[in-house]
Amino acid sequence: MRKTAVVTGASSGIGEATARRLAAEGYDVVAGARRRDRLDKLAAESPSIRPVTLDVTSQESVDALAASLERCDVLVNNAGGAFGLDPVADARLDDWQRMYDVNVLGSLRMTQALIPKLVASGDGVLVMLTSTAGHGAYEGGGGYVAAKHAQRTMAETLRLELVGQPVRIVEIAPGMVRSEGFALTRFGGDEEAAARVYAGVPDPLTSDDVADAIAWSVTRPAHVNIDRLVIRPRAQAAQHKVHRVSD
Ligand code: NJP
């Protein structure tokens, strides 16, 4: 019997790479995001990928996706991102609200909608895409750091609450990843500001590097729970300690 994996935020970056990778691993992949044109392009690569228009900030949208599934063996709560890099004193409430809504409540909606199917599968795996921002603070990161800490806490709580049931809870916490959209989203589409994030860093992680970690985690034997993987590029020894090479 083929297993089904649901990946949120599959239209770009880590989610797109994960959908592609899980399809290659033999899963039927339900690829969800708002930008349907990009999902259609991804789905054209593999008959195992089904594109689904999904907005994780909408309960109706999440419920419709859940109702369309016969089964769900893997859920990758990946949809998310950062808005802004303002100090707490000047931060826009609106940015914090959007970050909480997509990262935290979006993951909560998906989790609540799919836990019954993950349990029914007999070996469900829930992957929570947090960040190293879920494990420490940095200047300007307040709202994002808070949201990623909340997701991390949700994963830890779920693992406690679901113990004894056939579901594994995996947290993937990447450091600097040069994905397609993350920095662009943070800076509202400002390409120069986005490029400065990675300037001089020899090799930031790629979306494929993170997809590889996700695929490895979910394909371990059923009794093996990978609680958390923290993954950084070699050039990033800690949140603030990034090796940059000048031209
Ligand atoms: O970013 P990007 P990443 N409903 O912008 C989707 C975390 N992370 O791959 O809806 C449904 O390329 C959006 O799709 P669309 C990060 O916090 C990253 O880097 O079509 N989907 C797109 O597919 C996030 O949790 C880094 O606009 C929604 C995807 O989310 C995850 O990794 C470091 C949505 C974002 O793709 C993936 O980010 C780190 C909604 N309402 C953690 N809103 C990093 N890149 O450095 C957005 O530690 N999406």
What integer is the mean pLDDT of 120-136?
98
The answer to whether position 49 is within a domain reads: yes
Give yes or no for residue 48 CB within 6 A of ligand 1: no
pLDDT class of 211 with cuts at 50, 70, 90:
very high
The per-residue DSSP string of 171-232 comes to EEEE--B--SSHHHHHTTT-HHHHHHHHTT-S--B-HHHHHHHHHHHHTS-TT----EEEE-
Q: What is the pTM of this model?
A: 0.98
Give yes or no for residue 14 CB within 6 A of ligand 1: yes
The model's pLDDT over 73-96, given as tens digits with 9 standing for 90+, comes to 999 999 999 999 999 999 999 999
Asked if residue 34 has pLDDT above 90, the reply is yes
The answer to whether position 63 is within a domain reads: yes
pLDDT class of 247 with cuts at 50, 70, 90:
low
- Count the domains in the chain: 1
Tell me the residue range of the domain where 200 lies.
Answer: 4-242
The answer to whether position 92 is within a domain reads: yes
27 noted as active-site residue? no
Distance between CA atoms of 175 and 126, rounded to whole angstroms?
20
Q: Which residues make beta-bridge pairs with 236?
A: 242
Distance (angstroms) between ligand 1 centre and the Cα of 206 equals 13
pLDDT class of 239 with cuts at 50, 70, 90:
confident
Instruction: Provide the token pair at 50.
Output: 């089904």
CATH number of the CATH domain containing 130? 3.40.50.720
Pocket-testing residue among 6, 7, 8, 11, ligand 1, by greatest number of atoms within 8 A of Cβ:
11
- For the chain, how far is it from start to end, CA to CA, in angstroms? 53
Q: Which residues fall within 8 angstroms of residue 143, CB to CB, at 6 or more apart?
A: 82, 83, 84, 91, 95, 96, 99, 100
Give yes or no for residue 36 CB within 6 A of ligand 1: no
The model's pLDDT over 99-119, given as tens digits with 9 standing for 90+, comes to 999 999 999 999 999 999 999
Nearest to 11 by CA among 28, 41, 40, 33: 33
Helices (H), 59-172: 59-67, 93-99, 106-120, 142-161
Distance (angstroms) between ligand 1 centre and the Cα of 59 equals 19
The answer to whether position 207 is within a domain reads: yes
What integer is the mean pLDDT of 225-246?
94
The model's pLDDT over 201-210, given as tens digits with 9 standing for 90+, comes to 999 999 999 9
The answer to whether position 247 is within a domain reads: no
The answer to whether position 13 is within a domain reads: yes
For 88, 94, 135, 163, 217, the CA distances from 211, given in Å and listed in that order, are: 32, 30, 20, 26, 10
